[in-house]
Amino acid sequence: MPQIAGTFDAYLNQAVALDARLGAAARVLLAVAAAAVEMTGLVDLGRLYGQLGASLASTNTDGDVQKELDVLANDMFVGAFRQAPVAAVVSEEMSEPLVLDSAAQLAVAIDPLDGSSNIDSNVSIGTIFSILPVLAKANGTEAHFLQPGRMQIAAGFVIYGPQTSIVFALGNGQTQIFTLDRRAGRFYQAVSAPVIDRESAEYAINASNYRHWEAPVRAFIDDCEQGTEGPLKRDHTMRWTGSLVADTYRILLRGGIFLYPGDQRAGYNHGRLRLLYEANPIALIVERAAGIATDGLHPILDIVPSAIHARVPLVFGSAAPVGLVARYHSDPQFSARAPLFGKRGLMRL
């Protein structure tokens, strides 16, 4: 039997021993892990449990029809946070913040079940979370959440797939990956401080939306598709699962770039992913793994949220291609197109 690495609890205990200020956040992470074990049991059963992917009559804050497991997941994680030092929760499944303990130190923003459309397809789904400090002079509950992502004390996601893993960064620490041993019901360290490759020839994007994209995104993908004959001088491979946590996990382990840009469709011009509980947590763990996360041009973690359910474009992954996408947005020569050149970029790198 392979040697078992350190436990999740032991890692958190060590982090708190080095910095006692992380104690409250560690307790929230333990609550996330406990709920994730329970969620794993439901996901593993699939249709044996019931119609987890069945649509309900209600919709969430994004306007998406809720699935049964969306609601179960929200109730499960909110219940876990009631046992932790959490003052208030913002969730994709709730229109307003929920106050739990006004005297507590932390605020949590969460997408309880990312990728719920994949439930019945047996594709990886996940939980994404962000832990913020409560503001001493906040003007109302929402104010606790309207902080830039760099203020996060901890953040991460749980992926429910062939393995259940919790991926997180705590305090000033690097990204860590702990995987659930289903036999023991405990998380053990699987990958310590993954480093995202600076270069990569893999990209993830929903290519069916090509006609809606703005010129810089189209130009970048066009140049990727041209391979060694194009300006990027290398062949590329597209990987797209339709599950944010699955694409993020892959990029953490082998590099790549993920793009979910804003586009010309109604409701998509400012992006589609939520800043508080999707983009900010992903951006933190990507940056702590030597990657970059932007809205196409600006660092995600520097953006001040305008509302608790504010949307944002998201581009993250290997530093070189993410930086290149920013150049496509900032330098007209990169995104210029003319009939003489067809789909070729005017700029040769």
Task: State pLDDT tens for residues 5-22.
Answer: 699 999 999 999 999 999
Q: Which two tokens stand for residue 154?
A: 């901890």
Residue 57 CB: number of other CB atoms within 10 A?
Answer: 6
Q: Which residues pair with 280 in a beta bridge?
A: none
pLDDT on residue 348? 46
Mean pLDDT of the chain: 91
CA angle 201, 206, 209 (to 5 degrees): 125
Q: What is the pTM of this model?
A: 0.92
Q: Point out the least confidently predicted range of 69-73, 165-169, 336-340.
A: 336-340
Q: What percent of the chain has pLDDT over 90?
A: 79
Question: In which band, very low, low, confident or very high, does the pLDDT at 349 lie, cut at 50, 70 and 90?
Answer: very low
pLDDT on residue 272? 93
Q: Where are the alpha helices (DSSP H) in 278-318?
A: 280-287
Per-residue pLDDT reduced to its tens digit, 78-135:
999 999 999 999 999 999 999 999 999 999 999 999 987 787 788 899 999 999 999 9
Q: Are 234 and 199 in contact (CB under 8 A)?
A: no
In single-letter form, the type of residue at position 58 comes to: S
Q: Label the pairing between strands 65-67 and 55-59.
A: antiparallel
Closest by alpha carbon to 143, among 131, 134, 154?
Answer: 134
Looking at residues 310-323, what average pLDDT do you find? 98
Q: Point out the least confidently predicted range of 48-62, 209-223, 324-338.
A: 48-62
Contact residues for 249 (Cβ-Cβ < 8 A; gap 6+): 124, 159, 161, 165, 167
Per-residue pLDDT reduced to its tens digit, 177-208:
999 999 999 999 999 999 999 999 999 999 99
Tokens 């003319």 label which residue?
338
Q: Are 240 and 207 in contact (CB under 8 A)?
A: yes
Interhelix angle 8-18/23-45, nearest 10 degrees: 170
Per-residue pLDDT reduced to its tens digit, 317-341:
999 999 999 999 998 877 665 433 4
Q: Report the first-to-last Cα separation within the chain, whole angstroms.
A: 50
Domains (range + CATH), the chain: 8-192 (3.30.540.10), 202-335 (3.40.190.80)
In single-letter form, the type of residue at position 348 comes to: R
Rounded to a whole number, what is the largest CA-CA distance in the chain? Answer: 65
Q: Are 111 and 55 in contact (CB under 8 A)?
A: no
Helix, strand, coil: what percent of the chain each, to 5? 40, 25, 40
**What b-and-e string marks burial along 290-327, b requiring 16 or more CB atoms within 10 Å of the CB?**
bbbbbbbeebbbebebeebbbbbbbbbbbbebbebbbb
Q: Which two tokens stand for residue 192?
A: 């310590």
Q: Point out the least confidently predicted range of 68-77, 163-172, 212-221.
A: 68-77
Enzyme catalytic residues:
64, 70, 92-93, 111, 113-114, 278
Q: How far is CA 271 from the centre of its chain?
A: 14
Contact residues for 84 (Cβ-Cβ < 8 A; gap 6+): 24, 27, 28, 30, 31, 104, 106
Contact residues for 278 (Cβ-Cβ < 8 A; gap 6+): 111, 114, 128, 244, 314
